[in-house]
Amino acid sequence: MKILGIESSCDETAAAVYTGKGMESNVIASQAVHEQYGGVVPELASRAHHKTIWRTVQQSLDEAGVHINEIDAIAVTQGPGLMGSLLVGLCFAKGLSLSRDIPLVGVNHMDAHIYANFIDETPAYPFVALTVSGGHTQLVHVTAPFEHKLLGETRDDAAGEAFDKIGKILGLPYPAGPVIDERAKDGDPRFHDFPQAMLDNNFEFSFSGLKTSVKYFLEDQEDKEQFLEDHLDEICASVSYAITEVLVKKLRNAMEHTGVESVVLAGGVSANSMLRRKARELTKEMDCRLHIPKLAYCTDNAAMIAITGGMMAERDMYSDMELKPFASLSSRK
């Protein structure tokens, strides 16, 4: 099957083509307009999607050397995400589906992050997925394709959200996660002991208190600006340590609880070098197989939508024109 994947859940307009030979294209049009605001502005995001979606899709088809009439199914992000952004992608996919008589597959964005691991590898079921992104942090027990049990999730900020909010406090550009990761490589993670919340709860997360702790820690310094200039690498390393320690400790709990022999990392924060290193150390210690997507498949992309849509199409999990977007996991249909 040849699958066209379309992703527009937040601020990345993306399209990809997946065939039996593999991922033939993966095009991402990023939106630089949000940098000046320190975060994604929903209205600007949807407008940018509207301007770029057609040429992004066409570029993905061109790079794959596939004509739209050769496409067997169109996979599109249904949610969760920004409602305006989702609507642009969903309406475009519906129009393309109707005009070309191509079956439609609505894909859950969080499922797609998990199944991004299947682009280059084949994780063995059952496995535990640690999905860590800007909007979500959760542990999922996957027993078979699309058979998931949510073990736990964040009660407030997601890990990626915490990185970005703390980055703003530190005066770093948006998105701050990659910048903090890079600066942390040259810093001492033991420089300051930032709090690790909810360690007494097996699978739940909480990161909102961490940014408050960073804020107060900086305010306690006599010369905040000079302190930041002198110790930014150390602060970034200490923040990364606090967040990744919680993630890995919870992952250990989930592995022990389920008894799985395979683990997958998923979501944008799975690109974090400290998290990857700690996950490798943990799975080696527990004699488990670890799967981590390539960096290009960690952040929002259409390749993960295409592979997931292809797996759903193989199981006749098609959608109709009544397909609706959902903004949050709680409203998932």
List the domain boundaries for the chain: 3-114+297-331, 124-292
Q: Decide: pTM greater than 0.85.
A: yes
Spatial separation of the C-alpha atoms in residues 288 and 178, rounded to whole Å: 27
Sign of the four-CA dihedral 27, 277, 262, 256 = negative
CATH of the domain spanning 3-114+297-331: 3.30.420.40
pLDDT value, residue 75: 98
| Residue 68 near residue 61 (C-beta atoms within 8 A) | yes
Spatial separation of the C-alpha atoms in residues 12 and 68, rounded to whole Å: 22
104-108 β-sheet, strand order: 22-30, 12-19, 3-7, 73-79, 104-108
Helix (H) or strand (E) segment spanning residue 24? strand 22-30
pLDDT value, residue 333: 43
Binding residues for Fe cation, as ranges, are 109, 113, 300
Q: What is the DSSP letter of 124?
A: P
Q: 273-285 and 177-184 are packed helices; what angle lies between their axes, rounded to 10 degrees?
A: 70
Binding residues, as ranges, are 109, 113, 131-135, 164, 177, 181, 272, 300
Spatial separation of the C-alpha atoms in residues 265 and 113, rounded to whole Å: 9
- Smallest CA-to-CA distance from 314 within 150, 146, 148 is with 146
Structure tokens at 321: 């024109």
Phi, psi of 220 (to 5 degrees): -80, -10
Spatial separation of the C-alpha atoms in residues 224 and 230, rounded to whole Å: 10
Decide the pairing of beta strands 12-19 and 22-30: antiparallel
What contacts 24+ positions apart, CB below 8 Å, involve 272-279? 272/177, 272/181, 272/240, 272/244, 273/181, 273/184, 273/185, 274/181, 274/184, 274/189, 274/240, 274/241, 274/244, 275/132, 275/244, 275/247, 275/248, 278/244, 278/245, 278/247, 278/248, 279/130, 279/248, 279/251
pLDDT value, residue 20: 81
Hey, what CATH topology would domain 124-292 get? Nucleotidyltransferase; domain 5 (3.30.420)
Phi, psi of 50 (to 5 degrees): -60, -35
Binding residues for substrate, as ranges, are 131-135, 164, 177, 181, 272
Which residues of the chain are modeled with pLDDT < 70? 32-34, 36-37, 330-333
